[in-house]
Amino acid sequence: MDAQKTVWVTGASSGLGLHTAMALRADGWRVIAGARSFGQDNGEQDGILRLPLDVTDEESVRAFCRKAAETALPDALVQCAGMLVLGSCEETLTDEYRRVIDTNYLGMVRMNREVIPLMRRRNGGKIVLFSSINGLLGIPFQSAYTASKHAVEGYAECLKIEVRPYGIQVMLVEPGDHRSGSDKYRPHAVAMNADSPYAEAYESAVARIHHDETNGSDPDVLGRKIARTLDRKRIPFRKRIASTDQHLAVYVHRFLGARVNAGILERYYIRKKKKA
């Protein structure tokens, strides 16, 4: 009998998904990784089986699951596929919101619909959904991403209750800023330009976001923490992996009033230029 446990990982070509997949492989898991960029460059590499996967496409999700199941059924599913669009609420287009939500939230829904029956029939499994600190509070000019992660948080609470009788555990990972990712998954809304009424505030916020990500936590540490957690018999429902100040921001949001919280975030992200 094969004693090695198998994990399927989505969004595994870059960013936190890649670092998580590598950490799980180093921890002894059989890793089957999916990403859109694996379409022309798939197969086994560095001990990880890479298969093409577009979580926004129903048939791609089904094809990935069929192919992955030929190798091994999942003991765990780790969903990391994600993107964001930077832009003001007013100027971000409906299609831009749709693209982010389709990837970050509905992509998880599609994968779970295929994987949960496999786990239910085996009476066990672990599902890890990547949320974010943004799933707990709102950051200016990241409304599409924030909305998608809030959706993941609410969805996970429902999912946890429904699948528990079948031995399936659910965990939300809530990362803070980490040094990872690619700018191609962080496009600017097409309407954002120097003529925008939000231009000055937007420039300030984007600079702060870029600074925090560039100087963020080590993604390899995040990957190892997830691997160690998945090794446990029981996994927590929420696992926040963030710096001390980001933990503090969550507590401020939870316990202080909306006006205080908004004021703190506004002062942090939107710094007006000094007049000459």
In a domain, 276, yes or no: no
Q: Which of 88, 131, 143, 204 is catalytic?
A: 131
- Please tell me the predicted confidence (pLDDT) of residue 185: 58
Phi and psi based region of residue 53 (left: phi greater than 0; alpha: psi -120 to 50; beta: remaining): beta
In a domain, 275, yes or no: no
- Please tell me the predicted confidence (pLDDT) of residue 1: 44
In a domain, 58, yes or no: yes
pLDDT at residue 275 is higher than 60: no
- Please tell me the predicted confidence (pLDDT) of residue 255: 86
In a domain, 171, yes or no: yes
pTM score, two decimals?
0.92
Q: Which of 97, 105, 145, 198 is catalytic?
A: 145
Return all residues near 24 (Cβ < 8 A) that are at least 6 apart. Answer: 7, 9, 31, 78, 223, 226, 227, 230
In a domain, 274, yes or no: no
In a domain, 253, yes or no: yes
CA distance 216 to 176: 8
Whole-number CA gyration radius for the chain: 19
SS3 at position 64: helix
Nearest to 74 by CA among 65, 84, 63: 65
pLDDT at residue 175 is higher than 70: yes
- Please tell me the predicted confidence (pLDDT) of residue 256: 85
Query: Known catalytic residue: 217?
Result: no
pLDDT digits over 60-112, tens only?
999 999 999 999 999 999 999 999 999 999 999 999 999 999 999 999 999 99
CA distance 77 to 152: 15
Percent helix, strand, coil in the chain (nearest 5)?
50, 15, 35
State what percent of residues in the chain have pLDDT above 70: 95
Q: Which of 13, 88, 143, 148 is catalytic?
A: 13
CA distance 20 to 45: 15
In a domain, 169, yes or no: yes
Domain that holds residue 77: 6-269
Q: Which of 60, 88, 149, 180 is catalytic?
A: 149
Tell me the C-alpha to C-alpha distance, in Å, between residue 125 and each of 110, 166, 190, 276.
Answer: 17, 9, 41, 61
In a domain, 237, yes or no: yes
- Please tell me the predicted confidence (pLDDT) of residue 273: 66
What's the farthest any 2 CA atoms get from each other in the chain? 74
**Which tokens go with 48?**
């990880």
CATH of the domain at 127: 3.40.50.720
pLDDT digits over 103-128, tens only?
999 999 999 999 999 999 999 999 99
pLDDT at residue 184 is higher than 80: no
pLDDT digits over 18-64, tens only?
999 999 999 999 999 999 989 766 688 889 999 999 999 999 999 99
**Which tokens go with 182?**
């690619």
Tell me the C-alpha to C-alpha distance, in Å, between residue 146 and each of 10, 60, 157.
Answer: 20, 26, 17
Residue of 246 and 165 predicted with greater confidence = 165
Query: Known catalytic residue: 13?
Result: yes
With beta carbons less than 8 A apart as the criterion, state whether 3 and 70 touch: no
CA distance 172 to 24: 17
Task: Give the chain's domain count.
Answer: 1
CA distance 98 to 83: 11
Query: Known catalytic residue: 273?
Result: no
**Mutual angle of helices 58-71 and 106-122, in 10-degree steps:** 30
**Which tokens go with 138?**
């709102």
Query: Known catalytic residue: 14?
Result: no
